[in-house]
């Protein structure tokens, strides 16, 4: 398999990519988070599917918008999945499905719908170009349609079951928060990219009303200082909270709920604060910010699109 990079290293890698382009950072996060499902497959099956040396470029959807019908030896799936980021360059798809048996949804003991992740080759589906958005356009998060595909039972998994591969990455209680740490890296990378772009602009531009460089204006200096504190403070919180959660996972802490709580809070806080910091820089730039000739408007559009992801919602 892969190198099983720790979440702080993954955070920094996604952050660096997102400083340049938020869509690239997002797709790298998605491919990493989705490919972790391979740990829930028997190792010999995963090696056969993904090859040696490893060749997996994964895309997928956690939204169970289609059904998987129980049949002998596995499932038959068909339907439409949306927001399948990176599907254009994927070679494998990992898709969540509602399980159906004898024409009726399968329910768990609490009455909830039972779902499973289905692993199929990219060639099983057709991409429909539906991704027309204000930002993060490079993610290509289009719809995927599958007419019908048989999926052997051993090519399916459920994240909250025990994994076949052991390790701190695969603790069912931690896996979501560990993956979402890279969402914070993406958001903070976009915010840092916006800051770097603004500083370059401020050292070389005045405005339509005065030739005075923006860097020499007291309100601009104040705003830059506040935005810097926001970005740096949110980043420090994520590194501390996710780092503590990872340490608890590596140490085998039996009840890591406090570390999970802090990590989830820090991740959502980082996304919301990144939006706030970019807004501050965008508005203080005045009309300089609205032109496609500079990248500030791109960072603005990207962070407002990325900020709508579930990991950044106040409900988390």
117 belongs to a structural domain: yes
* Residues 298 and 252 reside in one and the same domain: yes
Q: What are phi and psi of 74, to 5 degrees?
A: 165, -130
Query: Is there a domain that residue 218 lies in?
Result: yes
Average pLDDT over residues 74-80: 97
The DSSP code for 112 is P
Evaluate whether residue 2 is within a structural domain.
no
* Domain-located, residue 87: yes
User: Has residue 8 been placed in a domain?
Assistant: no
pLDDT in tens, 103-133: 999 998 899 899 999 999 999 999 999 999 9
β-strand 58-61 against 74-84: which pairing, if any?
A: unpaired
Return the exposure string of 59-79: e unless at least 16 CB atoms fall within 10 Å of the residue's CB, then b: bbbbebebbbbeeeebbebeb
Q: List the CATH number of the domain containing 51.
A: 2.40.110.10
Cα–Cα distances (Å) from 35 to 7, 165, 177, in that order, read 14, 13, 15
Cβ 11 vs Cβ 238: under 8 Å: yes
**178 and 147 together in one domain:** no
Radius of gyration of the chain measured on its C-alpha atoms:
22
Domain holding 60, by residue range, is 42-157
Same domain, 228 and 294: yes
Q: Indicate the pTM of the whole model.
A: 0.92
- Residue 208's pLDDT is 59
Exposed/middle/buried for residue 214 (C-beta within 10 Å: 0-12, 13-18, 19+):
buried
Q: What is the mean pLDDT of residues 229-247?
A: 97
In a domain, 14, yes or no: no
**Same structural domain, 153 and 215:** no
Question: CB count, 10 Å around CB of 252?
Answer: 9
Asked if the model's pLDDT at residue 204 lies above 90, the reply is no
CATH code of residue 186? 1.20.140.10
- Beta carbons within 8 Å of 219's beta carbon, 6+ residues apart: 284
**pLDDT tier for residue 288 given thresholds of 50, 70 and 90:** confident
Shared-domain flag, residues 235 and 110: no
What is the rounded CA–CA span in Å between residue 100 and residue 114?
9
274 lies in the same domain as 206 = yes
Sign for the CA dihedral angle at 296, 299, 302, 308 comes to negative
With cut-offs at 50, 70 and 90, classify the pLDDT of residue 38. confident
In a domain, 275, yes or no: yes
Residues 180 and 289 in one domain: yes
């Amino acid at each position: 398999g892969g190198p099983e990079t720790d979440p702080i290293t993954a955070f920094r890698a996604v952050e660096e990519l997102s400083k340049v382009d938020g869509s690239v950072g997002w797709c790298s996060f998605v491919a990493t988070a989705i490919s972790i499902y391979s740990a829930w497959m028997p190792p010999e099956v995963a090696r056969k599917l993904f090859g040696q040396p490893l060749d997996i470029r994964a895309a997928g959807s956690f939204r169970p918008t289609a059904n998987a019908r129980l049949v002998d030896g596995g499932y038959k799936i068909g339907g439409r999945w949306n927001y399948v980021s990176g599907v254009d360059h994927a070679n494998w798809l990992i898709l969540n499905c509602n399980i159906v048996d004898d024409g009726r949804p399968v329910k768990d003991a609490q009455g909830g719908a039972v779902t499973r992740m289905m692993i199929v080759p990219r060639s099983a589906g057709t991409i429909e170009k539906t991704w027309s958005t204000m930002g993060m356009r490079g993610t290509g998060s289009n719809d995927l349609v599958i007419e019908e595909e048989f999926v052997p039972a051993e090519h399916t998994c459920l994240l909250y079951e025990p994994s076949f591969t052991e390790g701190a990455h695969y603790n069912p209680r931690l896996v979501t928060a560990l993956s979402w740490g890279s969402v914070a890296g993406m958001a903070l990378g976009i915010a840092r990219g916006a800051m770097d772009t603004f500083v370059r602009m401020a050292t070389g531009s005045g405005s339509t009303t005065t030739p005075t460089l923006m860097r020499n204006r007291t309100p601009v200096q104040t705003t830059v200082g506040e935005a810097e504190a926001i970005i740096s403070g949110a980043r420090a919180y994520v590194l501390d909270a996710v780092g503590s959660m990872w340490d608890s996972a590596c140490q085998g802490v039996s009840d890591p709920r406090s570390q999970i709580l802090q990590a989830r809070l820090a991740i959502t806080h980082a996304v919301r604060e990144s939006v706030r910091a970019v807004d501050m820089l965008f508005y203080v730039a005045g009309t300089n910010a609205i032109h496609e000739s500079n990248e500030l408007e791109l960072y603005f559009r990207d962070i407002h699109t990325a900020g709508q992801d579930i990991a950044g919602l106040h409900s988390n």
